Structure 1
Amino acid sequence: MCRVYLLVLSLIFHFSLYAQGETNPVVDENVLSLNEFLAYVKEYHPVAKLANFEISTAQATLLKSRGAFDPQVMVDWKNKEFDSKGYYDILNSTFKIPTWYGIEVKAGFEQNQGEFLNPQNSVPDDGLYSAGVSVPIGQGLFINQRMADLKQAKIMQDLSQAQRDIRLNQLLSDAVLAYLDWYLANREVNLFQDFLERAEIRFDGIKKSALAGNMPTIDTLEAGIVVQDRELRLEQSNLKLIKSRLHLSNFLWFEDNIPLELGPFVLPEELGENSLDPVLGTNLLQLENFVLADHPKIRALDYKIDKLEVNQQLKAEMLKPQLDLEYNFVNERVSQVNNLNFNPNDYKAGLFFKLPLFLRKERGNLKLAKIKVNEAQLDLDFESLQLQNKIQASRSEILSFIIQLNTFQSIVKDYSSLLRAEERKFSFGESSVFLVNAREVSLIDSRLKEIKVFEQLLKSKASLFNILVNDVEVE
């Protein structure tokens, strides 16, 4: 753990961050900004690395599918010796090149001999060369299983990129929420620290006045209760801060999969209403340029439809009869290349025909393929509409929280003025500890409500970011 803390220290103090305050920006090396936090999540988090495996898997699948078009060399040799007799010695070698449209180019060499050789295997003593093609005239000419596999593998590569974006964006959305919880917990702790200091100063002043006989002793009891209440609220806020800090540490990793633990000396950057917009791209004006088709989930659904359509084409191809033609020129071995002369009358040819009479299996497979395409298209239409409505709802939510925040900021300002006026009256002996405490409680409640609305505003922007890049609900 000490090593981890030292690593965090070296990491954090390497930052050059700017904390925005009411005065000019100042350099604060103890501040971890949201932008740099997300950069570390994207770079080192295990889930981010796992997301890249999606692409690696798709690339391996594509390589595997391309293997169906690799040239092939086949050698078939059979020999039989029995009772001092050479029954047969058969050598058949073939070189085959598969092409895109189901056509296969072949070249071969045969050399057979033996006392009991089958007459159909009889060839010249020096062997027999052949060269020709195999052509599917019916089923498999325009699309076959290996063509479909390669097309789908290429689509899966694009699909894996979209799925990788979805997985990574979900991680970033969760990380943003963790950062906001940490920031808001820090803000709440600072609030109660401030009011605890005020309560302690007031308590010391009242106690001195009571000892001097200028105030009733009972006022010290009430002021002491206020101090204890502030201490309790501060302790509760500190517990909330510790939990949020530990939760944030779940997203902090370094090289070689080393987990980091965020130290208590590290602070979040100060956030305003628009601080998240440049980092998350949640400026409402940018929504006008948002292209629905570029959304990772929409792209993933498009690729899924493309993949299913390839499968549908393959199933439709299976309705055709299977008719394969094969033709090979044959020629015996010659001593010189110049004497190589193919005789059209020397050839090997073949034909294969197959057609199920009812095609029930093929028609059923095609129907199922069409249903899957229709389902995927309906899913795409529904997700597109749902995404548009979510964006609109999130936009309305953000605008509403901005109005609410401005209202609460005005209320806090007014309560602050009332508290200062009450404290002034109290200093002149025209008020009481009870009234000052009541004003302060009202101010604290209004400040907490302001923080809550500010939290809702920030998280609604985080939710919009989640929708724009991932379309996953933020709890």
Structure 2
Amino acid sequence: MIRNFILVFSVLWTLPGIAQDVQLAEEQNVFSLNEFLAYVKEYHPIAQLANFEISTAQAKLLKSRGAFDPKVTVDWKNKEFKGTEYYDILNSTFKIPTWYGIEVKAGYEQNQGSFLNPQNVVPDDGLYSAGVSVPVGQGLFINERMADLKQAKIMQDLSQAQRDIRLNQLLSEAVLAYLDWYLASREVSLFDNFVDRAEVRFEGIKESALAGDIPTIDTLEAGITVQERKLSLEQANLKLIKSRLALSNFLWFEDFIPLELGPFVVPQALDENSLDPVLGTNLLQLEDFVLEEHPKIRALDFKIDQLEVNQRLKAEMLKPQLDLEYNFINERVGEFENFNTEDYKAGIFFRLPLFLRKERGDLKLAKIKVNEAQLDLDFEALQLQNKIQASRSEILSYITQLNTFQSIVEDTSTLLKAEERKFSFGESSVFLINSREVKLIDSRLKEIKVFEKLLKSKADLFNILVNDVSLDD
């Protein structure tokens, strides 16, 4: 049965390494971005699934190594009919495959019977053999099992890069969800403050109207303003609830228990530099960014390595197949004094297609795939560099815009305070105060919007640096 935990901080103590920070967070009901991302990396199901990439690669490597396992085979055949033993044939072999296609063999055969094929006649105690099988043409330097093992080893590195891509994608989406939650809570605080201001103003205007100092109609306008501010606050609260639930989608605990963020938990206060130490998005750090270490670039490099192994294998198929086999044979193991080098079994196998059309076609296709992968790598590297530059320019632009809007908000707030002072002297009206306040609210909302774009542009830069997958704003 799935259990939902409303109190996130009731389980924060069990997360390693952040107990001290959690105690402070519990007292203040603050859930920091660092703590949130720690939960995502540690317990989210997709983060767990990302680890399966490595486990799968390890299983494939184990499977490919099985092609080099020693093998024992036993082949026994017997036929008896109407009291006559036609044949009794036993043939056992022990093979040890080696890296360069050479096989070391040892065998034993014991055959008897009234109708035994003459080539199967051996001494009564059986016949022992030991020798090697060597491919001197096709398959000496690379063959299918060697290629499979090399590709499986490359797959381990590739799976690590793919795991990083999958985990980084999850973290990028989690960061955006946290920013939505933070910005929604900031809007709620904004409108909550203006509701309080409107209500205080309404009470003051109502008292002045009752005293006959101002027209009664001013109370109606002040009351409408209170309702408008409450409506805006309600809309902001709905946005906050939705963003909190969206954030809860990323919160899990041990044994895949989903967590739900409580309404009393608040995000940490963020400024324009808060994300940099968490996400590594400080613009000065871009100078130390190494393109070759990007997970996507690494993944493409490993794919090219796999394709090049396949290309080598296809090129090897153009060679003729020439296998040599030689086995010494002896009646009894240990009787080296009777060992005769003239007793042996040997064989040669040769095969060569006359036109090699299949092999030449396979090689051509393998070369095309390598070229395509290399072009894809070059394109992705250039695109990544351009995205980083574009993101850097975007962040600098939003910083400039934010500074401008902060100045506008400060000036608009000064105008509102001056209008309220004039109103206290009877030199202004509720209409002018509301007008100034609407402009202030509009400026604050625009400031929040630009701040949102700045934070999300840094989240997008983080995504580019670690993942390079487009995210929707």
Show the 5 A alignment for 1:94-113: 94-113=93-112
CA distance in 1, matches of 2:118, 2:286: 80
Following TM superposition, by how much is the alpha carbon of 1:473 offset from its aligned partner in structure 2, in angstroms? 1.0
User: Which 10-residue stretch deviates more, 199-208 or 1-10?
Assistant: 1-10
CA distance in 1, matches of 2:247, 2:292: 33
Following TM superposition, by how much is the alpha carbon of 1:118 offset from its aligned partner in structure 2, in angstroms? 0.4
Map of 1:22 onto structure 2? none
Does 2:395 match 1:398?
yes
Map of 1:368 onto structure 2? 365
1:341/1:449 Cα in 2 relative to 1: closer, same or farther (>3 Å)? farther
CA distance in 2, matches of 1:197, 1:35: 33
Does 2:448 match 1:451?
yes
* SS at 2:5 equivalent: helix
* SS at 1:4 equivalent: coil
Map of 1:299 onto structure 2? 298
1:3/1:339 Cα in 2 relative to 1: closer, same or farther (>3 Å)? closer
Does 2:271 match 1:259?
no
Following TM superposition, by how much is the alpha carbon of 1:338 offset from its aligned partner in structure 2, in angstroms? 5.6
Map of 1:4 onto structure 2? 4
CA distance in 1, matches of 2:2, 2:364: 64
Unaligned runs of 5+ in 2: none
The amino acid of 2:414's aligned partner reads S
User: Which whole-Å deviations, capped at 9, do the CAs of 1:49-98 have from their partners, x for residues lacking one?
Assistant: 11111111100000000000000001111111111011111111100000
The amino acid of 2:11's aligned partner reads L
User: Which of 355, 373, 378 is equivalent to 1:381?
Assistant: 378
Report if aligned partners of 2:6, 2:260 keep a CA contact under 8 Å in 1.
Answer: no
User: Which whole-Å deviations, capped at 9, do the CAs of 1:288-334 have from their partners, x for residues lacking one?
Assistant: 00000000000000000000000000000000000000000000126
User: Which of 433, 438, 441 is equivalent to 1:441?
Assistant: 438
Show the 5 A alignment for 1:165-204: 165-204=164-203
User: Which whole-Å deviations, capped at 9, do the CAs of 1:270-303 have from their partners, x for residues lacking one?
Assistant: 0011000000000001000000000000000000
CA distance in 2, matches of 1:393, 1:400: 11
Map of 1:82 onto structure 2? 81
Map of 1:358 onto structure 2? 355
Following TM superposition, by how much is the alpha carbon of 1:339 offset from its aligned partner in structure 2, in angstroms? 4.3
CA distance in 2, matches of 1:122, 1:136: 29
User: Which whole-Å deviations, capped at 9, do the CAs of 1:135-155 have from their partners, x for residues lacking one?
Assistant: 001000000000000000001
Tell me the TM-score normalized by structure 1. 0.96
Following TM superposition, by how much is the alpha carbon of 1:5 offset from its aligned partner in structure 2, in angstroms? 3.3
Report if aligned partners of 2:7, 2:260 keep a CA contact under 8 Å in 1.
Answer: no
Map of 2:345 onto structure 1? 348
Map of 2:233 onto structure 1? 234
Map of 1:308 onto structure 2? 307
Report if aligned partners of 2:6, 2:262 keep a CA contact under 8 Å in 1.
Answer: no
* SS at 2:364 equivalent: helix
Report if aligned partners of 1:12, 1:29 keep a CA contact under 8 Å in 2.
Answer: no
CA distance in 2, matches of 1:12, 1:78: 69
The amino acid of 2:29's aligned partner reads N
CA distance in 2, matches of 1:319, 1:180: 59
* SS at 2:270 equivalent: coil
Root-mean-square deviation (CA), in Å?
1.7
Map of 2:457 onto structure 1? 460
Show the 5 A alignment for 1:78-157: 78-157=77-156
CA distance in 1, matches of 2:266, 2:6: 17
Map of 1:319 onto structure 2? 318
User: Which 10-residue stretch deviates more, 159-168 or 340-349?
Assistant: 340-349
Following TM superposition, by how much is the alpha carbon of 1:342 offset from its aligned partner in structure 2, in angstroms? 2.8
CA distance in 1, matches of 2:13, 2:315: 64
1:13/1:352 Cα in 2 relative to 1: closer, same or farther (>3 Å)? closer
User: Which 10-residue stretch deviates more, 7-16 or 421-430?
Assistant: 7-16
Following TM superposition, by how much is the alpha carbon of 1:8 offset from its aligned partner in structure 2, in angstroms? 2.6
Unaligned runs of 5+ in 1: 20-24
* SS at 1:159 equivalent: helix
The amino acid of 1:378's aligned partner reads L
Tell me the TM-score normalized by structure 2. 0.96
Following TM superposition, by how much is the alpha carbon of 1:343 offset from its aligned partner in structure 2, in angstroms? 1.2
1:2/1:426 Cα in 2 relative to 1: closer, same or farther (>3 Å)? farther
Structure 1's consecutive aligned runs of 4 or more residues displaced over 6 angstroms after TM superposition are none
The amino acid of 1:202's aligned partner reads R
1:140/1:415 Cα in 2 relative to 1: closer, same or farther (>3 Å)? same
CA distance in 1, matches of 2:37, 2:304: 33
1:209/1:13 Cα in 2 relative to 1: closer, same or farther (>3 Å)? farther
